[in-house]
Chain A
Amino acid sequence: MRWGMVIDLKRCIGCYGCQLSCKAEHGTPPGVFFARVLKQEEGQYPSVRQLFLPVLCNHCEEAPCVDACPTGASFRWEEDGIVDIDPDKCVGCRACMMACPYGNRYFNDNPQHYFEQGATPYETARTARHQTEVMMKCNFCRDRVRSGRQPACVANCPTVARTFGDLDDPTSEVSCLIKERGGFPLHPEAGTRPSVFYLPA
């Protein structure tokens, strides 16, 4: 089994719902974005359009971050292909950050909070499980997926732009979408074999 995600760029409206739901799910501190949305404009007046590119960890089959990690803190689960970080093993060398061609790894360097008055009780509760001075990244909401639910960004996308499923199953919805609609990964030239695919806008 290899979990993967397909994001339909034609459906994405850039509402940041994925980013917010991810923040709510994981309680990530300021400056850490497991999911984010990039904006680009293309064309020339009067024919201009805005494109949105939601990005997250690509859970690569040939993950350069896993190879670069000196401690084994970055690893790939054999049973489902999810690339994860064991915070208890991370030394915070940030080699994985330099190895990731997608820029989706973050260093949680200080205890941070969103308001000048200090951490809210919600933030305190949500960030309690995060270690500081280590790397953080998306893990496809592995706990949710193991309990039979979808990742938070998929479950909360109001336009159903995201589809989650097994890339190893040729009959799964993600495999069919990639095949029928010409799904493409980011930076295929990097040879990382990502598990996140995009459908053309």
Chain B
Amino acid sequence: MERTRAKYERLIQDLKSELRPQREWGEGRGIFLVIGHFVVGVAAGTWLLSLFFDSRAAMASAFVLGALGGVSHLAYLGRPERALRMAMRVRTSWIARGFWGLSLFLAGSFLYLAPLLPSGAPWSGESAIAGAGYALALLGSLVLVVYMGFVYTASKAIPFWNSPLHPALYIAYALRGGTAVLLVGVALGAKVDAGVAELLLLWSGVTAIVAALFLLEIHGAMTGGNPAARRSVRELFAGRAALFFYCGTLALGLLVPAMLVWTGLTGPLSLGAMAALGLASVTGDFFMKYSTIRAGVHLPVWTRLAPLRHPVRAP
């Protein structure tokens, strides 16, 4: 009862404020949505890169991550028992498209990977079933890489997310996450058809793209004229999401991996350091998504376009 009362009081305070913070995605059970989006993005990026670098261990990791992401999504839903209904509105809803993407990915990757297991499967790795699985998983992973950014872009209530750069940023995140998983895989002895230096350069390139897109998005939010977007940036850099941003995203997700990459490019990198690099990068990506979601602020209902003016503070 106390918790419910506190939540109610906070909602009333939020409704009274002109710039209402977004709490549904990211707080309380909303953390499962952030985890789900994050893990599914990493899974899709890992799958695509493991196809490119021919790493079956990484493919298996992608399948497991995808399944965990699906479970996390279900844990977030108010009525998970109705989840199959989410396939209904694929014509207009990005969440429905994501549901299809994850379903295709999980089904396809299972069909493709099952013959490779030691216990085998009733079909061979060269059969039409495995080929269909390959195609389905590829299609599903492409949908997954793309859909998440569009879920946020379609959120008209949160101007900070409502940026055309968000889909590109999420695609870059997925690839960065995939590269990090490959690095962890190499550190654990998985066969990857790429050298360590190649993976480190790939990580650096994708990270540079992520940083550039993020800075452009921040610039757009600050100069776009929307007070809610500007407040979101403030929340990210100096508000309720700042700790996660500085400690999680910048320190753990950028500085630590960058130092390890520099070490790896200028000399030998131990397997432990390589695993730490991948894990730090992935953790940083999680905090990046978490902090930007937590920084979301609702569009104010009072509008300047209407013949009503914003309040003027008393002298």
Q: Which residues of A contact B (CB under 8 A)?
A: 9, 30-31, 33, 36, 38, 40-45, 48, 51, 53, 55, 64, 66-73, 89-95, 97-103, 107, 109-110, 112, 116, 132-134, 182, 184, 186-190, 192, 198, 200-201
What is the minimal beta-carbon distance from B272 to any residue of chain A, in angstroms?
A: 40
The answer, among B8, B78, B155, B161, for a CB contact under 8 Å with A91, is B78
Docked-complex contact A31 and B7, CB < 8 angstroms: yes
Cβ of B155: which chain A residues have Cβ within 8 Å of it? 68, 95, 98-99
Query: Nearest Cβ in chain B — how far from A125, in angstroms?
Result: 20
Q: What is the chain A residue whose CB lies nearest that of B90?
A: A70
Question: B82 contacts A71, CB within 8 Å?
Answer: yes
**Distance between Cα atoms of A165 and B93 in the complex (Å):** 31
In the bound complex, residues from chain B placing their C-beta under 8 Å from that of A94 are 24-25, 78
Which single member of B1, B7, B305 contacts A189 (CB below 8 Å)? Answer: B305
Q: What chain B residues lie within 8 Å of A36 (beta carbons)?
A: 15
Query: How long is the Cα–Cα vector from A93 to B99 in the complex, in angstroms?
Result: 12
**B45-63 toward A: CB 8 Å interface, digit per residue (1/0)?**
0000000000000000000
Of A64, A90, A110, A188, which one neighbours B79 at CB under 8 angstroms? Answer: A90
B88 within 8 A of A: yes
A41 to B, closest residue via Cβ: B311
In the complex with contacts A67-B92, A71-B85, A71-B89, A92-B78 CB distance below 8 A: yes
Asked if B95 is at the interface (CB within 8 A of a chain A CB), the reply is: yes
Chain A CB within 10 Å, residue with most, of B79, B82, B83: B79
- B150 CB to closest chain A CB, in angstroms? 11
Q: Does B168 contact A (CB under 8 A)?
A: no
- The answer to whether A40 and B311 have CB atoms under 8 Å apart is yes
Q: Is A33 within 8 A of B79, CB to CB? A: no
18 contacts between A and B (CB under 8 A): A31-B8, A44-B314, A53-B308, A68-B154, A70-B89, A70-B95, A71-B88, A71-B89, A91-B86, A94-B24, A98-B24, A98-B157, A99-B157, A103-B20, A103-B299, A184-B306, A189-B305, A201-B307
B158 interface hit (Cβ, 8 Å): yes
Q: Given A109-B78, A116-B1, A133-B78, does the pair A184, B157 have CB atoms closer than 8 Å?
A: no
Docked complex: B276-315 residues within 8 A CB-CB of A? 298-299, 301-303, 305-312, 314-315
User: Which residues on B sit within 8 Å (CB–CB) of A200?
Assistant: 307-308
Within 8 A of A (CB), among B1-34: 1, 4, 7-8, 11-12, 15, 20, 22, 24-25
A98 to B7, CA, bound (A): 19
* Shortest 10 CB-CB contacts between residues of A and residues of B: A92-B78, A133-B78, A98-B155, A70-B96, A71-B85, A70-B95, A67-B92, A70-B86, A70-B93, A101-B156
Q: Does B218 contact A (CB under 8 A)?
A: no
B31 smallest CB distance to A (angstroms): 13
Q: Are B79 and A69 in contact (CB under 8 A)?
A: no
Which chain B residue has the least Cβ–Cβ distance from A51? Answer: B308
Interchain nearest-CB distance for B155 vs A (Å): 4
Q: How far apart sit A43 and B312, CA to CA, in the bound complex (Å)?
A: 6
Query: Is B80 interfacial (CB 8 A cutoff)?
Result: yes
Q: Give Cα A69 to B298, complex, Å.
A: 18
A contact face: mostly helix, strand, loop, or mixed: loop
Q: Which of B78, B86, B92, B151: most chain A CB closer than 10 A?
A: B78
A95 to B96, CA, bound (A): 11
Among A89, A95, A188, contact of B85 (Cβ-Cβ < 8 Å):
A89
B77 contacts A by Cβ under 8 Å: yes
Q: Are B306 and A198 in contact (CB under 8 A)?
A: yes
- Bound complex: CA of A116 vs CA of B5, how far in Å? 9
B19 shortest CB reach to chain A, Å: 11
State which residues 58-104 of B face A: CB under 8 Å: 76-80, 82-83, 85-89, 92-96, 99
Please tell me if the beta carbons of B154 and A99 are within 8 angstroms of each other in the complex. yes
Measured between beta carbons, the chain B residues less than 8 angstroms from A189 are 305
Contact between A107 and B1, CB atoms less than 8 A apart: no
Let me know if B8 and A187 touch, CB within 8 A: no
Q: Which of B20, B82, B161, B312 has the most CB of A within 10 A?
A: B82
Report A85 CB to chain B, min CB distance, Å: 12
Q: A70-B95, A92-B78 are in contact. Are A40 and B308 (CB under 8 A)?
A: yes
Instruction: Give the Cβ gap from B87 to chain A, nearest Cβ, in Å.
Output: 8
A188–B303 Cα gap in the complex (Å)?
9
Complex contacts, A98 vs chain B, CB 8 Å: 22, 24-25, 154-158, 161
**Nearest-CB residue, chain A, relative to B87:** A70
* Distance in angstroms between the alpha carbons of A191 and B121 in the assembled complex: 53
Whether A44 contacts B305 by the Cβ 8 Å rule is: no
Q: How far is the CA of A103 from the CA of B80 in the complex (A)?
A: 24
**Known contacts A40-B302, A70-B95: does B85 contact A110 (CB below 8 Å)?**
no
Determine if B154 and A67 form an interchain contact, defined as CB atoms under 8 angstroms apart.
yes
Q: Is the CB of B301 within 8 A of A102?
A: yes
